[in-house]
């Protein structure tokens, strides 16, 4: 029996208050719906995908499909006025007598292949399935005057997610019955219909906390952060993939840059390092240009470019020497621009990856750090902009945000600090390689001593 994924994408996104419906907003270099489609596209047990889209966005969906060249059969169906109508349109477009359908919100891009697996497995035994997680909030039932009528025991509550999955004839029947039922128009999910008409029990498959729905502007900000975590946590990146890749590291002579060279070599990469030590000052465009040209001439390709070159001089602005300040900005900011500009042609050819470094002070400037923290904030902004400019070329560009790290630069500015309060440059190097090998772009990757997840 075939497994169809129906992706509901016909919502108007009124609740975000934005002009574009949330499924078409971009996170981590791709629209929300592209992330969602990718999960179903990659799942080996999904045979076909049906996208239900609003008629004003059908062209947009068509162009997304053209750009992504997904391999599975994908059909676009026009949506309806309510979610229920859209769902019915998706279901009715399937001509098979028997099939399984997995109905999923386009605005839940974090659905995992594990959840899909569990659903398909459960469909062998049950005809209707919901995905849900225990509620961590207490749910209160209110009356129309804003008074609590009842607080049911929390342990009985689960929060519904999607996909909701069904044996096709069952969910078709539920929708057909609802056509005659005026009370059904407020129903916001498909399982409710099955229960309303007593057609089947609905079995619950455990979802997960990542599988969130993007509804409000805050959800978008959270989703952006979750993509950082997901990119590194859920995609198991094999460092062996770096074997025979050409990696260029600017700022290779010490600290994080040095560790990256060592680790990349250990995994078989062909590594080229540049720094002031071998005459390459990143603030000089021509030197950067020559360095990359020499590597290309010798290797015939450049896969990954990493820039760890950075200067930190602390002090109050008014007390500091203008030459030092200009030097710091030239290395930290102009250096990144020089490298990015000159990297483009090489990385376009290899569909490679560029990696920069920021500081935890990028989100909020710190006293005595004003030039350092503002130059590091600029790097994040630069990476976000470039990731958008370069998505069509398949060049990935990300930025690492390491916690206080045990490097010489830190030691020079802050003296000796207890070892166990600092992050090891080895860990930053490992995450750096995972990032350049990863398939995400425009991300700020936080590296901390202890993992949050
Ligand atoms: O509005 P709600 O949050 O329930 O939307 C869940 C999903 O249903 C979204 O992916 C949305 O695009 C979709 N939807 C739809 N047609 C509608 C309303 C919502 O496909 N008329």
Instruction: With a cut of 80, say whether residue 237 has pLDDT above it.
Output: no
Rounded distance between C-alpha atoms, residue 378 and residue 358, angstroms = 9
Does residue 283 sit in the same domain as residue 176?
no
First to last CA, the chain: 37
> Final residue of a domain: which of 172, 194, 223?
223
Q: What is the per-residue pLDDT for 405?
A: 78
Residue 233 inside a domain? The answer is no
Does residue 212 sit in the same domain as residue 299?
no
Give pLDDT tens digits for 88-109.
Answer: 999 999 999 999 999 999 999 9
> Final residue of a domain: which of 172, 196, 223?
223
pLDDT band at 233 (very low <50, low <70, confident <90, very high): low
Rounded distance between C-alpha atoms, residue 335 and residue 281, angstroms = 8
Q: What is the per-residue pLDDT for 346?
A: 98
Total of domains in the chain: 2
- Best residue among 39, 105, 211 to mutate for probing ligand 1's pocket (most ligand atoms within 8 Å of CB) is 105
Residue 234 inside a domain? The answer is no
> In degrees rounded to 5, what are phi and psi of residue 305?
-125, 125
Does residue 201 sit in the same domain as residue 129?
yes
Does residue 188 sit in the same domain as residue 216?
yes
Closest-lying ligand 1 atom to the alpha carbon of residue 87: 20
The Cβ of residue 377 has, within 10 Å, a number of other Cβ atoms equal to 18
Give CA separation, 68 vs 71, 149, 220, in Å: 9, 50, 22
Handedness of CA 24, 28, 30, 35 (dihedral sign): negative
pLDDT band at 413 (very low <50, low <70, confident <90, very high): confident
Rounded distance between C-alpha atoms, residue 368 and residue 408, angstroms = 19
What is the rounded (10 degree) CA torsion for 38, 42, 44, 47?
40
- Residues of the chain with pLDDT > 70, as a percent, come to 96
Instruction: With a cut of 60, say whether residue 453 has pLDDT above it.
Output: no
Does residue 427 sit in the same domain as residue 317?
yes
CA of 10 to the centre of ligand 1 (A): 6
Does residue 392 sit in the same domain as residue 291?
yes
Instruction: Name the pairing type of β-strands 26-27 and 158-160.
Output: unpaired
Give CA separation, 367 vs 116, 125, 184, 317, 374, in Å: 49, 62, 59, 9, 11
Instruction: With a cut of 70, say whether residue 159 has pLDDT above it.
Output: yes
Q: What is the per-residue pLDDT for 408?
A: 79
Asked whether 134 and 234 are in contact (CB, 8 A), the reply is: no
Mean pLDDT for the stretch of residues 140-168: 96
Residue 229 inside a domain? The answer is no
Residue 228 inside a domain? The answer is no
Does residue 211 sit in the same domain as residue 276?
no
Query: pTM score > 0.85 for this model?
Result: no
Q: What is the per-residue pLDDT for 17?
A: 63
Hey, whose CA ends up nearest to atom 15 of ligand 1? 10
Does residue 335 sit in the same domain as residue 377?
yes
Give pLDDT tens digits for 188-222.
Answer: 999 999 999 999 999 999 999 999 999 988 998 89
> Final residue of a domain: which of 223, 254, 272?
223
Rounded distance between C-alpha atoms, residue 438 and residue 8, angstroms = 28
Mean pLDDT for the stretch of residues 73-88: 96
Q: What is the per-residue pLDDT for 441?
A: 87
Q: What is the per-residue pLDDT for 45?
A: 96
Closest-lying ligand 1 atom to the alpha carbon of residue 21: 12
DSSP character string of 205-268? EE--TT-----SHHHHHHHHHHHHHHHHHTS---GGGGTT-EEEEES-SSHHHHHHHHHHHHTT
What is residue 447's three-state secondary structure? strand
Determine which helix (DSSP H) or strand (DSSP E) holds 5, and give its type and residue range.
Answer: strand 3-9
Q: What is the per-residue pLDDT for 406?
A: 79
pLDDT band at 447 (very low <50, low <70, confident <90, very high): confident
Residue 232 inside a domain? The answer is no
CA of 55 to the centre of ligand 1 (A): 14
Task: Write down the mean pLDDT value for the chain.
Answer: 93
Determine which helix (DSSP H) or strand (DSSP E) holds 356, and give its type and residue range.
Answer: strand 353-357
CA of 3 to the centre of ligand 1 (A): 21
Does residue 365 sit in the same domain as residue 286?
yes
Alpha carbon of residue 432 to chain centroid: 16
Mean pLDDT for the stretch of residues 279-304: 98
- Best residue among 24, 86, 131, 213 to mutate for probing ligand 1's pocket (most ligand atoms within 8 Å of CB) is 86
Instruction: With a cut of 80, say whether residue 425 has pLDDT above it.
Output: yes
Helices (H) and strands (E) in the chain, counts: 14, 18
DSSP character string of 222-234? HHHHHHHHHHHHT
Does residue 51 sit in the same domain as residue 118?
yes
Residue 231 inside a domain? The answer is no
What's the CATH number where 325 sits? 3.40.50.720
Give pLDDT tens digits for 332-346.
Answer: 999 999 999 999 999
pLDDT band at 61 (very low <50, low <70, confident <90, very high): very high
Q: Which domain holds residue 288?
A: 239-452
Instruction: With a cut of 60, say whether residue 297 has pLDDT above it.
Output: yes
What's the CATH number where 106 sits? 3.90.550.10
- Of these ranges, 25-34, 266-275, 354-363, 394-403, the one predicted with the greatest mean pLDDT is 266-275
pLDDT band at 451 (very low <50, low <70, confident <90, very high): low
> Which of the two residues, 352 and 439, has the higher pLDDT score?
352
Does residue 199 sit in the same domain as residue 302?
no
Asked whether 333 and 358 are in contact (CB, 8 A), the reply is: no
Closest-lying ligand 1 atom to the alpha carbon of residue 9: 12
**Alpha helix stretches (DSSP H) within 272-369:** 285-299, 322-329, 335-350
Q: What is the per-residue pLDDT for 452?
A: 53
Pick the closest to residue 305 from 248, 260, 357 (CA basis).
Answer: 248
Does residue 144 sit in the same domain as residue 270?
no
Residue 43 inside a domain? The answer is yes
What is residue 117's three-state secondary structure? helix
pLDDT band at 14 (very low <50, low <70, confident <90, very high): low
Residue 306 inside a domain? The answer is yes
């Amino acid at each position: 029996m075939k497994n169809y994924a129906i992706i509901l994408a016909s919502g108007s996104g009124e609740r975000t208050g934005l002009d574009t419906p949330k499924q078409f907003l971009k996170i981590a270099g791709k629209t929300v719906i592209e992330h969602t489609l990718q999960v179903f596209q990659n799942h080996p047990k999904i045979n076909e995908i049906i996208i239900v889209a609003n008629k004003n966005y059908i062209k947009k969906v068509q162009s997304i499909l053209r750009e992504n060249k997904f391999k599975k059969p994908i059909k676009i169906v026009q949506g309806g006025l309510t979610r229920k109508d859209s769902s019915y349109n998706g279901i009715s477009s399937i001509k098979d007598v028997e099939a399984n359908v997995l109905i999923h919100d386009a605005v839940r891009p974090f659905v995992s292949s594990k959840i899909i697996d569990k659903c398909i497995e459960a469909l062998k035994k049950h005809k209707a399935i919901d995905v849900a997680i225990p509620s961590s909030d207490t749910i209160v039932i209110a009356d129309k005057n804003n008074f609590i009528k009842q607080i049911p025991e929390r342990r009985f509550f689960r929060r519904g997610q999607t996909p909701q999955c069904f044996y096709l004839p069952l969910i078709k029947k539920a929708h057909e019955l609802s056509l005659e039922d005026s009370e059904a128009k407020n129903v916001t999910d498909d399982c409710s219909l099955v229960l309303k008409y007593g057609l089947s029990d609905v079995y619950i498959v455990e979802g997960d906390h990542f599988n969130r729905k993007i509804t409000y502007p805050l959800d978008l900000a959270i989703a952006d952060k979750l993509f950082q975590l997901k990119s590194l946590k859920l995609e198991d990146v094999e460092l062996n993939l770096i074997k025979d890749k050409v990696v260029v590291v600017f700022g290779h002579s010490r600290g994080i840059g040095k560790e990256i060279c060592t680790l990349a070599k250990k995994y078989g990469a062909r590594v080229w390092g540049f720094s002031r030590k071998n005459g390459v000052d990143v603030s000089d465009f021509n030197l950067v240009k020559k360095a990359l040209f020499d590597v290309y001439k010798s290797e015939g390709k450049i896969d990954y470019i990493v820039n760890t070159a950075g200067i930190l001089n602390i002090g109050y602005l008014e007390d500091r020497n203008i030459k030092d300040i200009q030097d710091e900005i030239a290395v930290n900011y102009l250096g990144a621009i020089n490298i990015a500009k000159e990297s483009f042609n090489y990385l376009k050819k290899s569909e490679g990856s560029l990696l920069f470094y920021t500081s935890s002070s990028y989100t909020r400037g710190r006293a005595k750090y004003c030039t350092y923290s503002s130059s590091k904030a600029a790097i994040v902004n630069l990476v976000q902009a470039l990731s958008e400019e370069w998505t069509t070329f398949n060049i990935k560009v990300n930025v690492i945000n390491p916690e206080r790290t045990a490097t010489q630069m830190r030691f020079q500015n802050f003296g000796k600090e207890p070892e166990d309060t600092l992050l090891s440059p080895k860990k930053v190097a490992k995450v750096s390689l995972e990032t350049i090998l990863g398939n995400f772009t425009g991300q700020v990757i936080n590296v901390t001593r202890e993992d949050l997840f």
